[in-house]
Structure 1
Amino acid sequence: MLEIRPNVARQYIDAVSVFEAWEDAEREASQVRGGMYWHKGAPSAPEAVYLVRTSPKGAEKSLGPKTPETERTYARFLERKQLAQDRLTALAEKRKEHERMNRALRVGRVDPIVVKVLDRMTSSGLSDFFRVVGTHALYAYEAAAGVVVDDDAVATRDIDLLWDVRKRLHFATALARVDSSMIGLLRKVDKSFRIKDLDKYTAVNQDGFEVDILRREQQGEDPHPIRMSDDEDDFWVTQARKAHVLMDAPPFSAVVVASSGAMARMNTLHPLSFARFKRWMSGQGDRDPLKRRRDALQAEVVEAMVAQYLPQWQAGGAD
């Protein structure tokens, strides 16, 4: 485990500041998406003019007849919308600048397809329904710690996304706003993604990169089996042993950087919760011995990282 160079650290700090400002601007702009207009009355009552608020999907809501108050509401909305859009546009350009600088200084090393998937999930409003678990979580920890861990600890060609089955109804509503299926969403990132014939919880692209979608073991009224949408070609989410531990652990989030310089936010779990889970996995006799050794290595690496570089995370993360 090596500390990143000072110039790389400075660039990462500056890039994250811009990225987080862009996130704030995106949230602000989302509050004023859609529009407002004055709806004229029928020919028999042309003086009956109403202010109408429209949603991005075309839904409409009357805000009342034209009065000095609704005129002020209309003016404030237009001003706020313009300011939000101007700020978002400016920060989007700054984000692109920093992504170019990230690439020039080799700030990141995450596979670009991972960052593209995370970015698409965020822009589609789906990131809150998932946590990155497994090997790729180490990229979030090392980014926050300002270190680079040994390649042996992060070598993988798949990303594990833990889906919160408790939020399945809200997820279905959110997914329907942006696509008909989860596999359809992934194909907006890379059109070559296909669900594997034998592992319906896994999508693989033409380069062999895989996306696995996991869930906790069935509890209470959890449906099982469960497909992520009505699309017959979509993911069938697989149950993972003790996945409730990963879902219930305190959250951890960091901005990760791809080798291309692109950035995205990765939501995962408390690093010590991750380490404890990996310790447990390394002791499972029915698990592949090679994976068990890597589990133990990852637990050791994350524990050392927290002790040396992330002392603020030494509390919490209990089983």
Structure 2
Amino acid sequence: MAPDYFLLLVLKAFFLYYDSPLKKKEKTNIMNELSLEQRRVFINLAQVYETYQETYRHSLHYQGSMRWKKSNGKEYLFHGRGDKGYGRSLGVRSAETEIIYEQFHAGKQRNKERLESLKAELLLGAKYAKLLKLNRVPKQVAEILRLLEKHRLLGNNVIVVGTNALYAYEMLAGIHLQSDMLATNDLDILWDARTKLKLMADENSGILHILKQVDYSYERLESLYRASNNQGFLIDLIKPEPKPPWKFEADTIGDENDLVASPIASQRWIVSSPKVTQIIIGEDGFPAPMVVPDPRAFVIHKMWLSHQTNREKIKSRRDEKQALILAEIIQNGLPHFSGSYTGVNKNLTGFQNLSGLGQWWQGKDLPTRLPLHHRRGL
């Protein structure tokens, strides 16, 4: 975690830049608002996708089979699960079990028909999304996100950090950023190792197993926290460094062949920040959910990264640019986030008013050490 005084210096630099003539000269075409038609198609497609996901989750209640099974001269209602014939008896045949049997099969059929209808709507919506150039997110990324959600990891245990998170922020604000702001050949997945995993026993093969469902060429590299496919697309699994650093925490989601999360100290407060869930559109035109840190947390973290002396210059300049652009998006396009940093996480509870904080810093010399909870002038 960065020292408190350094975080304040970073924020001071941000505010000085934000109001500077240099910033005003950079007013640009770096972002474009979505048209009314793009907004309409996106909203409709997102709603259909969310309904599809809800219907799919409901279909899990109808997994397996339900049939009558004879034993010792009597018929029993048997609920089978899986391919190995496992299941349980729901009781001897009676008026009550016959109702259960009928309701199960009728409900399963209704759910199947509803899913098929929603799939058709998604296919149609995907065509419109591609025509209107809403399909921004790399296909691999979107497919990975869908599987992370299916395996109940996304939002519960892992979130997306790094450049790919900008896809969520741009859709949250109803804009499209310039493509060079989003270009990246990797996906950073942040795992909160403190959370309880909800994988089923037969699913507990981890992140690499999920990646191989998208592209079988994904292999774990020597670094152990990283996987790559045949096209060189990289997936990094990271986690906050434990506190204290020697505290034991799990470092794999799956078995010993899974990715081993790389501990990074600066991710401690990112993982504790509020999260935002946003529907994005993959290159194939189909929606996917993305869970990312609060955009204000992203701004602070990227500004902090840009001031690290051991950070490559080419990366630090991009970090700063992404932070400044997202700060402008928050100011102009996300009024429910703009102005306040209260609640970003426990380390930022002293930041009550963003613009007020910036004005207070103008022309003032900061002390060598200033607590994050310092409230003078706020």
TM-score of the pair, normalised by structure 1: 0.89
Report the residue type matching 2:71 in the other structure: G
Would you say the 8 A contact 1:201–1:237 is kept in 2? Answer: yes
Distance 1:92 1:223 in 2: 45
Distance 2:207 2:38 in 1: 35
Would you say the 8 A contact 1:132–1:266 is kept in 2? Answer: yes
TM-aligned CA deviation for residue 224 of structure 1: 5.3
Would you say the 8 A contact 2:186–2:234 is kept in 1? Answer: yes
Would you say the 8 A contact 2:251–2:260 is kept in 1? Answer: yes
Distance 1:224 1:121 in 2: 21
Q: 1:227 to 1:106 in 2, by over 3 A?
A: same
Distance 2:280 2:119 in 1: 17
Aligned to 1:178: 203
String of CA shifts for 1:217-261, please: whole Å, max 9, x gaps. Answer: 1247964573343343x2111012222222221121111112331
Report the residue type matching 2:202 in the other structure: R
Q: 1:154 to 1:280 in 2, by over 3 A?
A: same
Q: 1:225 to 1:290 in 2, by over 3 A?
A: farther
Would you say the 8 A contact 2:205–2:253 is kept in 1? Answer: no
1:191 aligns with 2:179: no
Report the residue type matching 1:107 in the other structure: L
SS of 1:39's equivalent in the other structure is strand
1:23 aligns with 2:48: no
Distance 1:120 1:69 in 2: 38
Report the residue type matching 1:192 in the other structure: S
Aligned to 2:329: 305
Report the residue type matching 2:77 in the other structure: L
Question: Which of 159, 168, 181 is equivalent to 1:131?
Answer: 159
TM-aligned CA deviation for residue 293 of structure 1: 1.9
Question: Which of 62, 77, 88 is equivalent to 1:51?
Answer: 77
Question: Which of 51, 64, 67 is equivalent to 1:37?
Answer: 67
Would you say the 8 A contact 2:204–2:255 is kept in 1? Answer: no
String of CA shifts for 1:46-86, please: whole Å, max 9, x gaps. Answer: 13x32222334653122222222222122112221111111
TM-aligned CA deviation for residue 265 of structure 1: 0.8
1:271 aligns with 2:299: no
Report the residue type matching 1:187 in the other structure: K
The answer for unaligned runs of 5 or more in structure 1 is none
Question: Which of 170, 185, 206 is equivalent to 1:142?
Answer: 170
Aligned to 1:4: 34
Distance 1:154 1:206 in 2: 22
Matches within 5 A, 1:80-91: 80-91=107-118
Aligned to 2:252: 227
Aligned to 1:246: 270
Would you say the 8 A contact 1:163–1:213 is kept in 2? Answer: yes
TM-aligned CA deviation for residue 41 of structure 1: 1.7
SS of 1:246's equivalent in the other structure is helix
TM-score of the pair, normalised by structure 2: 0.76
Distance 1:246 1:56 in 2: 39
Q: 1:225 to 1:254 in 2, by over 3 A?
A: closer
SS of 1:165's equivalent in the other structure is coil
Report the residue type matching 1:17 in the other structure: Q
Larger Rg: 2
Report the residue type matching 1:148 in the other structure: H
Aligned to 1:202: 226
Would you say the 8 A contact 1:166–1:222 is kept in 2? Answer: no
Report the residue type matching 2:209 in the other structure: G
Would you say the 8 A contact 1:136–1:159 is kept in 2? Answer: yes
Report the residue type matching 1:227 in the other structure: T
String of CA shifts for 1:180-217, please: whole Å, max 9, x gaps. Answer: 343232122112212222x2111111222111011111
Would you say the 8 A contact 1:149–1:301 is kept in 2? Answer: no
The answer for unaligned runs of 5 or more in structure 2 is 1-30, 349-378
Aligned-residue CA RMSD (Å): 2.2
1:289 aligns with 2:317: no
Distance 1:66 1:289 in 2: 74
Report the residue type matching 1:34 in the other structure: G
Question: Which of 344, 349, 353 is equivalent to 1:317?
Answer: 344
Count of matched residue pairs:
310
Moved over 6 A (4+): none
SS of 1:51's equivalent in the other structure is strand
Aligned to 2:186: 158
1:111 aligns with 2:138: yes
Report the residue type matching 1:105 in the other structure: L
After TM superposition, the structure 1 stretch with the greater mean CA deviation from structure 2, 49-58 or 285-294, is 49-58
Distance 1:195 1:8 in 2: 39
SS of 1:40's equivalent in the other structure is strand
Report the residue type matching 1:80 in the other structure: G
Distance 2:65 2:331 in 1: 51
Q: 1:11 to 1:59 in 2, by over 3 A?
A: same
Would you say the 8 A contact 1:179–1:185 is kept in 2? Answer: no
Aligned to 2:99: 72
